Chain A
Amino acid sequence: MSAAAQAQPQPQTPAVSMRGVTKRFPGIVANDHVDFEAAPGEVHALLGENGAGKTTLSHILTGLYRPDEGRIALYGEPVEFASPREAIDAGVGMVHQHFRLVPRFTVAENLVLGDRRGAGRNFRIDPGAIAEQVRGLGERYGLEIDPRARIWQLSVGEQQRVEILKALYQEARILILDEPTAVLTPDEADTLFVTVRKMAEEGRTVIFISHKLHEVMAVSDRVTVLRAGKAIATVRTADATPQSLAELMVGREIVVVRREGHAHTDAAPVLEVEDLWADGDRGTVAVKGVSLTLHAGEIAAIAGVSGNGQRELAEAIAGLRPCTKGTVRVKGHAVHTGDARTAFQAGIGYVPEDRLGTGVSPTLPISMNLSLKSFRSESVGPFLRLRMMRDKAVEAIRTFGIKSSGPEQETDELSGGNLQKVVISREFSAHPSVLIAASPTRGLDVAAVEQVHSYLMEAAEEGAGVLLISEDLDEILALNDRVLVMYEGGLTEAADPTNVTEIGLLMAGGKPA
């Protein structure tokens, strides 16, 4: 890659130098004597699995956390940040995974908020001048956006542009992007990479946090791999291959599993959705006339950038959200929409996106959460059969390998992966004919992801129709029999479920080939 050739020669003072940085949280060492260095004008990727310590390291650099040990220097000057403000003033900007924008403000208002330089000290605000400045910055970096638009009117990709503009407006020389492509379509991601290169060419340092190998390969000059809180290696991207990076990241050889595609169109349909319409939380129409048929034993994946109605569609089918129009049939029987109990009694299992808030009752013990959908038929009159619930929970903990102190442990004390296993084992125990899984692996580590995937495949083997809603294209490509793409409330089926280009096009609102 030609970018690597531009990498700065070593004797130059590094823009960022972190030495022996350690940060401990109760129970874990998030960063263990990490050394990290990035040169001016370099795109330096920070690669690692979820929980490897990437975000903690960046939070230390942006003043959100204070390190327990270690030294940090910017351009050779030792620094110690007591607050994010001090980091911003020193020229460190960060684009967080969760944007820090005021939704009801305009783009321009968000940019000038808290500004303390030059015109930023003026008591009066001149909206016209600010808008001009924003427009200028946007044109220079290919981040064009209407300065007068309000944040809530913008797509997630546009909101990210605002976050980057905000850092540039504050004259950040070191810019940290935390998993920036998680919310983008492939096309938007490509545009972002162009912006990133442009910023580096101007001499800024871009620290690009990611766990996606192809992105790291495409955009970075050098890569530092983190694993379990330790910096494992720093390599030049030009000298690396996706395979070698993956092995550094995981610490063992990777076997890419691709589920063998089966055609199931001859199997009996388990779920038939016809012309379904549903409203979103803000009263807007979120699902616009969706029709789909799911056959027994198949995994149909719904791809799409989040916020295009996937959650509302899942909730509408699972009975959690009333439909304004349309029908849902399970094995030929119509399900009354807007009623969760009839939906799961009809055989719909649902693994929700928000596993702690919707998936379980966080303060109840594991045993009760496991019986949430079955206790009615299992209780004696008004009395719960607690011993039986506990025995069932012990069984589930054993078969699903839920790491816990026992069936009495409250579910909010479990890690994300174990929590997800509780939800999945509950949904499985009812032997559903339809299983809806919404972002089932988000935030889980690699081992847990593999397990969740195997459960989903197992469910399909047993004859359930699985509807997998995910924003992770790698996951979708690994599991699907069919791919449907959701865009602005409508659903389109991709002709070829392995063609990333086509799926990406549909995610951005393109027409099927």
Chain B
Amino acid sequence: MNNSLLVVLIASGIAYGTPLLFASLGELLAERSGVLNLGVEGMMLVGAVMGFWTVQRVHSNTAVVLFAAIVVAAIIGAVLASIHAFLVITLRASQIVSGLALTIFAGAVGLSSYLGNDLNLADSPASHTFNAVFPQSMQNWPVVGPIVFGQNVLVYASWALVVVIWLYLSRTRPGLNVRAVGESPAAADSMGINVTRYRYAHTLLGGALAGIAGATVTLAITPQWVDGITGGAGWIAIALVIFAFWRPELCLVGAYFFGALQALAPQLQARDIHLGPTVLWTNALPYVMTIVVLVVVSSGTARSRLGAPAALGNAYVREER
């Protein structure tokens, strides 16, 4: 029963969907404050390579090494996001251009591959990886075994994060303030809310989560370093925020759906089922998503109909006479 296609697809959809979930929750926080960051793919790749590097170079017990790797990935993601934040919040540059530049600068054939080469990270498997936390006997339970108990600690952490972000945005004062900053910075400013500070904080937080998302790829899903290993997942994550109407709980659903799509091709192949060129269209997905993202973010009407934060993409200038 645990080998049935549906159970396997759900279980591996959750695993493959976790980096998408981390990255889209991060992007959601940034966008809720009004900052669109199209640099997710770049931040993920640098997070992936630096997380992997930590695991290869730090020698200690597995838990410490993996924790350090996540911290390093989060920090490097936040550092990259701070470049974007400085350009678009302080210097009021175009958020679309700055974000694209960040992905080009940091992404495949950019900083991440330079680091990968320079640090000699290719061609060796990860020394430590995130594995299932519950004992094998529990994982063998029908249906819930592989789906619920067969996952690694990052998956459980991402579930907790969904709940925390949902509560933060809907039930706390800083959450209310950040929504006001993203909807109507002028109103927020007149109520004494520091628009700049909120935007910086959430953009950096978004970068940190993108870094963690990258490390999830190299330390839990495919434990190795290959140039451009995220394969466009950053773009899917940005698109997910749109499809989830900027709501964290829907990000989870979307992330697992796209995760399952990624798992579909190999699973079908393993079962000798042929449904036309499955690989072709799952591989093309990131490119399709990139186009969707760029069309939606550059069309004002599309954004307001989908319920995007009203000030998304706009720099805030206090009105002076």
Seen from chain A, the residues whose Cβ lies within 8 Å of a Cβ on chain B are: 25, 65, 83-85, 88, 100-105, 109-110, 112-114, 116, 120, 122-125, 282-283
Determine chain A's interface SS by DSSP, over half rule.
loop
Q: Which 9 A-B pairs have the closest CB atoms?
A: A114-B191, A85-B192, A102-B184, A100-B187, A100-B190, A102-B183, A114-B192, A113-B191, A102-B187
Q: Which residues of A contact B186 (CB under 8 A)?
A: 100
Residues 145-192 of B contacting A (Cβ, < 8 Å): 171-174, 176-177, 179-180, 183-184, 186-188, 190-192
Q: Which residues of B contact A85 (CB under 8 A)?
A: 191-192
**Known contacts A103-B310, A104-B183, A113-B180; is-contact A123 B174 (Cβ 8 Å):** yes
Residue B59 interfacial (CB < 8 Å): no
Provide the B97-113 mask, 1 if CB < 8 A to any CB of A, else 0. Answer: 00000000000000000
Residue B57 interfacial (CB < 8 Å): no
State the Cβ distance, A27 to closest chain B Cβ, in Å: 11
Residue B79 interfacial (CB < 8 Å): no
Residue in A25, A102, A112, A282 whose Cβ sees the most chain B Cβ within 10 Å:
A102
Q: Which residues of A contact B321 (CB under 8 A)?
A: 25, 65
CA distance A124 to B172 in the complex (A): 4
A to B CB contacts below 8 Å, 22 in the list: A65-B321, A83-B192, A84-B190, A84-B192, A85-B191, A85-B192, A88-B191, A100-B186, A101-B187, A102-B187, A102-B188, A103-B183, A103-B184, A103-B310, A104-B183, A104-B310, A112-B176, A114-B192, A124-B173, A125-B173, A282-B304, A283-B305
CA distance A423 to B193 in the complex (A): 40
What total of A-B pairs shows CB separation below 8 Å? 62
Query: Taking CB as reference atom, which chain A residue is nearest B183?
Result: A102
CA distance A25 to B176 in the complex (A): 36
CA distance A120 to B191 in the complex (A): 12
Q: Which residues of B contact A83 (CB under 8 A)?
A: 192
Seen from chain B, the residues whose Cβ lies within 8 Å of a Cβ on chain A are: 171-174, 176-177, 179-180, 183-184, 186-188, 190-193, 304-305, 310, 321
CA distance A112 to B183 in the complex (A): 16
Taking a contact as CB atoms under 8 Å apart, the answer to whether A125 and B172 are in contact is yes
Q: Which residues of B contact A102 (CB under 8 A)?
A: 179-180, 183-184, 187-188
Which of A88, A114, A122 touches B177 (beta carbons < 8 Å)?
A: A114
CA distance A351 to B305 in the complex (A): 30
Which of B173, B192, B193, B304 touches A123 (beta carbons < 8 Å)?
A: B173
CA distance A294 to B321 in the complex (A): 42
Taking a contact as CB atoms under 8 Å apart, the answer to whether A88 and B192 are in contact is yes
> Beyond A112-B176, A123-B173: 10 further Cβ-contacts under 8 Å?
A84-B192, A88-B191, A100-B184, A101-B184, A102-B179, A102-B188, A103-B184, A110-B187, A122-B173, A283-B305
State the Cβ distance, B188 to closest chain A Cβ, in Å: 7
Query: Taking CB as reference atom, which chain A residue is nearest B307?
Result: A104
Q: Which residues of B contact A100 (CB under 8 A)?
A: 184, 186-187, 190-191
Q: Which residues of B contact A88 (CB under 8 A)?
A: 191-192
Q: Which residues of A contact B180 (CB under 8 A)?
A: 102, 105, 113-114
CA distance A466 to B187 in the complex (A): 39
Taking a contact as CB atoms under 8 Å apart, the answer to whether A113 and B177 are in contact is yes
CA distance A430 to B100 in the complex (A): 48
Taking a contact as CB atoms under 8 Å apart, the answer to whether B176 and A109 are in contact is yes
